């Protein structure tokens, strides 16, 4: 490993947040091209499946993390639970913010059909969403954070899958429609 690669490795080790290419280049007083080369070398060293630590590209930057192979032992050593799972309400609010951002609380409530204060509050507390200005009527708007990208292993926001893939299939849609109109009809005849 050359000196630049060693320095880049040390910076990623120290930094709590993913570090972008330009910040790495700036800190190392090198060109981005040189840093890219060093990262390639590091990537060889940290190739997944060989080491306990892996090099990852998330939230618009580079970072080191443990390989899941160590998860069981890490839980024993640190006595710290892994990221607690989301409740269904939190997951729905997060999905709405992730895909419709920036989005206000009333808009979230409209999609879910139910007020969503507590779930939104928890997501704010957990740092997965944050404020992003105000709507025309003064309502606070929300968007996802870098931590969200980090926790979900997303390189960037646009690496979320296309939301259309979550739509019910035309067959399911048809079925839903028929049931809406006919669910009661059968009952009224029986």
Partner 1 sequence: MSVGASLDLEMDLEVFQGPFDLLLTLVLREEVDLLELQLADVVLAYIDHLDRAGELDLEAATEFLVLIAALLELKSRLMLPGEDGEGLDLEPGEAADELLARMLEYRRYKSAAAFLEQRLLAESGFRYRAAPLPRELRRASLDLAEPVYDPLSLGAAIGGLLRAPPRLELDHLATPRVSLEGRLAHVRSLLGRLGSFSFDKAVEGADRVTEAVTLFALLELYKAGEAEWDQREPFGPITVRAGSNPDRGEG
Q: Which stretch binds a second copy (CB under 8 A): 63-71, 154-162, 171-179?
A: 63-71
Task: From residue 131, give the alpha-carbon distance in Å to each of 120, 140, 174.
Answer: 11, 7, 38
Could you tell which of a second copy, partner 1, none binds residue 124, using a CB distance below 5 to 8 A set by kind? a second copy
Q: Which stretch binds partner 1 (CB under 8 A): 1-9, 20-28, 39-47, 66-74?
A: 66-74
Interface residues for partner 1 in 146-185 (CB under 8 A)? 146-147, 150-154, 159-163, 165-169, 172-173, 175-177, 179-185
Distance between CA atoms of residues 164 and 177, nearest Å: 19
Instruction: Label residue 108 exposed, middle or buried (CB < 10 Å: 0-12, 13-18, 19+).
Output: buried
Radius of gyration, alpha carbons of the chain: 23
Q: Which stretch binds a second copy (CB under 8 A): 110-118, 149-157, 161-169, 173-181?
A: 110-118
Interface residues for a second copy in 146-165 (CB under 8 A)? none
Token digits of residue 157: 């926001």
Q: Which stretch binds a second copy (CB under 8 A): 26-34, 152-160, 164-172, 174-182?
A: 26-34
Please list, residue by residue across 41-60, b when 16 or more beta carbons sit within 10 angstroms of its beta carbon and e when fewer do. bbeeebeeeeeeebbbbbbb
Smaller CB separation from a second copy, 162 or 180: 180
CB of 169 to a second copy, least distance (A): 17
The residue within the footprint of partner 1, chosen from 54, 120, 123, 129 (CB under 8 A), is: 54
Give the β-pairing of 129-134 and 140-144: antiparallel
The residue within the footprint of partner 1, chosen from 29, 49, 79, 158 (CB under 8 A), is: 79
Distance between CA atoms of residues 97 and 124, nearest Å: 11
Give the β-pairing of 129-134 and 53-58: unpaired
The residue within the footprint of partner 1, chosen from 19, 55, 56, 62 (CB under 8 A), is: 56
């Amino acid at each position: 490993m050359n000196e630049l690669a060693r320095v880049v490795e040390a910076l990623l080790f120290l930094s709590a947040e993913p570090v972008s290419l330009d910040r790495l280049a700036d800190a190392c007083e090198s060109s981005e091209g040189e840093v890219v080369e060093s990262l390639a070398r590091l990537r060889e060293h940290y190739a997944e499946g060989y080491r306990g630590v892996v090099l990852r590209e998330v939230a618009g930057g580079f970072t080191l993390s443990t390989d899941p192979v160590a998860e069981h032992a890490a839980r024993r050593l640190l006595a710290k639970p892994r990221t607690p799972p989301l409740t269904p309400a939190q997951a729905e609010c997060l999905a709405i913010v992730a895909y419709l951002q920036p989005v206000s609380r009333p808009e979230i409530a409209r999609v879910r059909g139910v007020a969503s204060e507590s779930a939104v509050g928890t997501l704010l507390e957990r740092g997965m969403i944050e404020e992003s200005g105000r709507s025309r009527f003064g309502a606070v708007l929300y968007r996802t954070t870098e931590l969200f990208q980090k926790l979900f292993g997303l390189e960037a926001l646009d690496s979320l899958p296309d939301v259309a893939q979550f739509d019910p299939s035309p067959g399911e849609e048809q079925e839903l429609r028929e049931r809406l109109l006919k669910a009661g009809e059968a009952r009224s005849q029986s």
